[in-house]
């Protein structure tokens, strides 16, 4: 009896062993049937993103490569030299640098109190040889490094007001004014020496055309001598900066301080990329200026619509208001922050941190030439997101623009793409909850994905292109096709 029991147990063990050995090691360990023996469907694979680099639309982004009172002093050019290659790889093709010459404040000057137009950090004056940003040699190294990485360098130009000259009697104001600029008085380079006759009022002009800064040292551009030194002569500011220093273009500071013909005359003489600081939120004022000068302009109209919609009124209907990019997309330089807005104590002149990325999503997907602010890009919480937005801008942000839906807390815009480029759909929401909305796309029977990475939802359009997309709470998404 015992032997039969042992023999039975032995046979049972052999059967179990043979059954386990007969199972292929690659066979799934889960049963593809449910409890009733019904075969279950194979899960759909996740959609694959398209290769954005295959859709290069030729568009790029500018970097404002400074902020107010940059630190450390005397090392800024070297700091930028170490970053420019990485910026180029990210899709940036121009850097806008601060006024590069000696100002009255010497080693503390941000350059806007311009004294010597030809001292790039090589003459001892105003208490320093180097500028706040470094030496001339370091600046030249930055420019060369930028050019080696296919990045243009845009110089900030202050031709409205001067500062840091010596006192002299001014008969047109019947008092002493700081209008004497020579080798001993704030102009050690000896180039473009000037006196009271070069400023308003003088023997040619009896009025100041409305400058709000340094009224007594507001350059008179009607004087032939001033024109010669600023842009006409072979060693003028414009031609020296372009031909000797290697600058590729200009950011004209405070153009409200002089007439538009000055910018046009400069550009007619030397050309180059140009953008003006015309601080006015009226799109028509900006439009008229670019028509009169041929220059690009910072799109302050767009900036204020973003500030109003995201911050001041919390109403995204503002985003459909009049902006320069709507009329002249090739003349609009869009932005969300600059050195002035970030130091301004007026809360209506800057976009709050919590809304910055929504604002960047707007300018990176709409027409215009976006400008990224240094402090935003170098912020560890923003950088990866900004790199992704730049990649989207340089690839999918192309074609006609169409607003699909807008209300107080939702804004949906479509770029129609061109040729084989599919374009995109931007969805911004300032609601406290996730939003979904049905829209009309250009894509039929295609699964979409959010290329911002803010949503994991993957809707599929129908045969007519209708599709429901979503935006995360108080955020944005950017939709396009998948493989």
**CATH class name, domain 403-481:** mainly beta
Nearest partner of 480 among 469, 472, 471, judged by Cα = 469
Predicted pLDDT at 153: 99
Neighbours of 294 (CB within 10 A): 15
Predicted pLDDT at 41: 54
The answer to whether 176 and 169 are in contact (CB under 8 A) is: yes
The answer to whether 156 and 98 are in contact (CB under 8 A) is: yes
Residues 268-298 pLDDT 10s: 999 999 999 999 999 999 999 999 999 999 9
Nearest partner of 194 among 216, 242, 226, 170, judged by Cα = 226
Tokens representing 354 are: 């919590």
43 Cβ neighbours under 8 A, 6+ residues apart: none
What gap in Å lies between CA 89 and CA 327, rounded to an integer?
Answer: 31
60 Cβ neighbours under 8 A, 6+ residues apart: 91, 92, 93, 94, 394
Helix 283-293 and helix 260-270, axial crossing angle in degrees, nearest 10? 40
**The residue to which tokens 């010497």 are assigned:** 106
The answer to whether 272 and 249 are in contact (CB under 8 A) is: yes
**CATH class name, domain 52-398:** alpha beta
Neighbours of 376 (CB within 10 A): 23
Low-confidence residues of the chain: pLDDT under 50: 1-38, 40
Predicted pLDDT at 17: 37
Predicted pLDDT at 206: 86
Nearest partner of 57 among 371, 348, 393, 329, judged by Cα = 393
Q: Would you kindly state where each structural domain of the chain is located, as residue ranges? A: 52-398, 403-481
């Amino acid at each position: 009896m015992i032997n039969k029991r042992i023999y039975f147990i032995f046979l049972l063990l052999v059967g179990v062993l043979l059954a386990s050995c007969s199972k292929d090691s690659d066979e799934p360990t889960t049963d593809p049937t449910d409890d009733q023996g019904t075969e279950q469907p194979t899960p759909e694979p996740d959609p694959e993103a398209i290769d954005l680099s295959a859709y290069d639309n030729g568009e790029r982004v500018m970097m404002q490569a400074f902020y107010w009172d940059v630190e450390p002093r005397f090392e800024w050019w070297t700091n930028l030299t170490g970053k420019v290659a990485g910026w180029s790889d990210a899709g940036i093709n121009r850097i806008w640098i601060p006024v590069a010459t000696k100002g009255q404040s010497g080693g503390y000057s941000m350059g806007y109190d311009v004294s010597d137009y030809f001292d790039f950090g090589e003459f001892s004056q105003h208490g320093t040889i180097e500028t706040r940003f470094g030496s001339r040699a370091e600046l030249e190294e930055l420019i060369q490094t930028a050019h080696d990485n296919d990045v243009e360098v845009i110089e900030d130009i202050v031709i409205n007001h001067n500062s840091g000259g010596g006192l002299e009697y001014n008969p047109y104001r019947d008092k002493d004014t700081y209008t004497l600029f020579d080798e001993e008085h704030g102009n050690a380079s000896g180039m473009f020496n000037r006196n009271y006759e070069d400023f308003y009022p003088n023997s040619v002009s009896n009025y100041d055309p409305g400058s709000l800064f340094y009224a007594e040292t507001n350059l008179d551009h009607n004087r032939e001598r001033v024109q010669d030194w600023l842009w006409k002569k072979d060693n003028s500011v414009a031609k020296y900066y372009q031909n000797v220093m290697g600058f590729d273009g200009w950011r004209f500071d405070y153009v409200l301080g002089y007439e538009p013909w000055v910018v046009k005359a400069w550009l007619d003489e030397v050309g180059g990329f140009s953008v003006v600081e015309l601080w006015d939120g009226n799109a028509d004022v900006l439009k008229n200026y670019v028509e009169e000068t041929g220059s690009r302009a910072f799109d302050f109209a767009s900036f204020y619509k973003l500030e109003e919609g995201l911050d001041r009124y919390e109403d995204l209907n503002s985003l459909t208001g009049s902006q320069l990019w709507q009329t002249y997309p090739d003349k609009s330089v869009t932005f969300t922050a600059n050195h002035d807005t970030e130091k301004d104590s007026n809360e209506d002149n800057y976009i709050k941190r919590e809304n910055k990325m929504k604002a960047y999503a707007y300018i990176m997907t709409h027409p215009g030439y976006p400008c990224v602010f240094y402090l935003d890009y170098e912020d560890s919480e923003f950088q990866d997101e900004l790199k992704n937005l730049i990649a989207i801008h340089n690839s999918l942000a192309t074609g006609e623009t169409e607003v699909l839906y807008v209300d107080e807390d939702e804004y949906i815009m479509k770029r129609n793409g061109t040729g084989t480029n599919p374009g995109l759909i931007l969805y911004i929401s300032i609601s406290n909850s996730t939003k979904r909305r049905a829209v009309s796309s250009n894509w039929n029977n295609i699964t979409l994905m959010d290329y911002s990475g803010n949503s994991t939802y993957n809707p599929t359009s129908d045969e007519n292109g209708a599709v429901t997309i979503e935006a995360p709470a108080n955020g944005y998404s950017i939709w396009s096709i998948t493989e």
